[in-house]
Chains A and B, each alone.
Chain A
Amino acid sequence: MVKIDVNLKRAVLDMMMGGDKLSYCFQCGICNDVCPVSQRWGSRYNPRDLVLFSALGFKEALVSAVVKDPFILWGCTTCETCDEKCPAEIPITDIISLLKNVSVSLGVAPEFYPSSTRAVMESGMAIPVQPAVEKRRVGLGIGPAPLIPAEEIRKLMLATGVDKLVKKQEETA
């Protein structure tokens, strides 16, 4: 029997019925047709299924499929073509982003994502100031980079608890 996760189901249905509209995915498949990743990989990458299974709350089934092949979720290039073309105005990439959050919280994500989060925690930016680039900036006449409020950003990240997420990821990796 398929287990249903009501929290995921509720979150996704909320996204479909947000604001002033009430819409639902009628599985037309346009998102698959216009998706450049789907066009390259066929059934290996299928946004329509991601929308359906998450709206049904099939969290466990989704996660175990992602563990088997992370590409079925992380293969999305976030071009947002599907959102623009969906006749029901389903925020498909927002749903995919939510699923990625779920995937990260269970320790299943490509290495870049936790490591770039750590970089922000350590230096306030995904790409920290580098001495060689600072020199180049001065040579180009635009001066060194402005100071980054790294300490304040760290505090905020500790307050949201994202540090724990990253740690968990690093431990599973």
Chain B
Amino acid sequence: MAEYKLFPGCFIQNRIPFLEASAKFVFEQVGVSQSAGNFGCCPNPVGLRFVDEKTWAVLGARNLVEAESEGKNIMSLCNGCYQSMAVVNHELKHDPMLKAEVNKVLAEVGKNYAGSISVEHFVRVLHEEVGIEKIKSKITHPLTGLKVALHPGCHYARPSHILKGEDPFNMYFLRDLVEASGATVVDYDQEDLCCGNGVRNADPYTANTMLKAKIDDARIHGADCFAVNCPACFQQMDAEQRNLKSMAAEGVKYNFPTYYVTELLAMAMGKTAKEIGINFHRNKGKDELMKVGL
């Protein structure tokens, strides 16, 4: 498999690097080769894009050019970065006027976008390029008995006419990866519901109601934890639970653990929770992990 330029995104890289640690361990185990790139902000599809679409396209294109200069495709660890760069790539390929405008700006720093590489999400790389059988062959400590509710997240597959990975309303890559770890996937009604991260900066209350709805529903269906494949969803679903206290029904505590999918896989491949930094989670899920011998 050709080497990828790894795009962890600012959130993983500079705030919650333990997600990167688990991902890199899994990549090494299953033979995904990757290297760092000279990247900047993706930029945020629910941040800078809303301030100025053109600047968003220029900075996204700048990242694409960095990967083009090495002739390698980008692999993202974040739904948001993935969506931003894949959408910018698509728009530039289909809109010659925008491309000319963006290239005019890029020329100021001696760069030029050609449109020669693609942007991939790591979940697709693991599922489609590595394959579930190979991943299963590396599992030494199956998480038998752990019940997992999935949250692939919105920007992983939408807009579906551009992000061609999976049908956004019938996704199974994350499910297969979680099942490969030996855990059991439980279905719940609110799987497609947004985690709420996208509205947090404008209206935290609304964001909290969405998170609460997801957790309440996952619990009703017997889940022990969430599995995610995006650091923004991870942060919203793990760290922001502290804000649910005032909304909680009597006697209900919000300490529901969330794991990034490569954390589950890394533990199933023999890493201890401590080695991959589960102790940095706000909700570590000690009891839930103990249940499966971790």
- A162 close to B55 (CB less than 8 A): yes
Q: How near does chain A come to B33, taking the closest CB pair, in angstroms?
A: 15
Contact with A along B128-163 (1 / 0, CB 8 A): 000000000000000000000000001100111100
- B155 close to A80 (CB less than 8 A): yes
Binding site for B on A (CB under 8 A): 19, 36-37, 40-41, 70-71, 74-81, 83-84, 89, 91, 93, 97-98, 100-101, 104, 109-110, 112-114, 116-117, 120, 124-130, 133, 136-137, 140-142, 145-150, 152-153, 155-157, 159-160, 162, 165-166
Q: How far is the CA of A86 from the CA of B161 in the complex (A)?
A: 13
Q: How far is the CA of A53 from the CA of B248 in the complex (A)?
A: 38
A97-B50, A116-B48, A117-B51 are known contacts. Are A145 and B199 too (CB-CB below 8 A)? no
Binding site for A on B (CB under 8 A): 10-11, 13-15, 17-18, 20-21, 24, 36-41, 43-55, 58-59, 62, 94, 105-106, 108-109, 154-155, 158-161, 168-169, 192-194, 196-199, 201-203, 206-207, 209-210, 276-277, 280
Return the chain B residue nearest A129 by Cβ: B14
Q: How far is the CA of A100 from the CA of B52 in the complex (A)?
A: 9
Query: Could you say which residues of chain B place their CB within 8 Å of the CB of A113?
Result: 47, 50-51, 201
Further 13 A-B residue pairs, CB within 8 A, beyond A114-B51, A165-B52: A19-B94, A70-B202, A80-B154, A80-B158, A117-B47, A120-B43, A126-B10, A140-B17, A142-B21, A149-B40, A152-B109, A156-B105, A160-B55
Q: How near does chain A come to B247, taking the closest CB pair, in angstroms?
A: 13
A83-B158, A112-B47 are known contacts. Are A78 and B17 too (CB-CB below 8 A)? no
Can you list 26 A-B pairs with a CB-CB distance of less than 8 A? A40-B209, A41-B206, A71-B203, A74-B203, A76-B198, A77-B199, A78-B198, A83-B159, A101-B52, A114-B51, A117-B51, A120-B48, A125-B14, A126-B44, A126-B47, A140-B276, A142-B20, A149-B39, A150-B40, A152-B109, A153-B62, A155-B109, A156-B105, A156-B109, A162-B55, A165-B51
Return the chain B residue nearest A166 by Cβ: B51
Q: How near does chain A come to B132, taking the closest CB pair, in angstroms?
A: 26
Q: Which 8 residue pairs of A and B lie closest in terms of their CB atoms, listed nearest first?
A: A79-B194, A112-B201, A77-B199, A74-B202, A77-B198, A80-B158, A100-B50, A125-B10
- A75 close to B94 (CB less than 8 A): no
Q: How near does chain A come to B197, taking the closest CB pair, in angstroms?
A: 8
Query: Could you say which residues of chain A place their CB within 8 Å of the CB of B14?
Result: 125, 127-130, 133, 145
Q: How far is the CA of A77 from the CA of B169 in the complex (A)?
A: 18
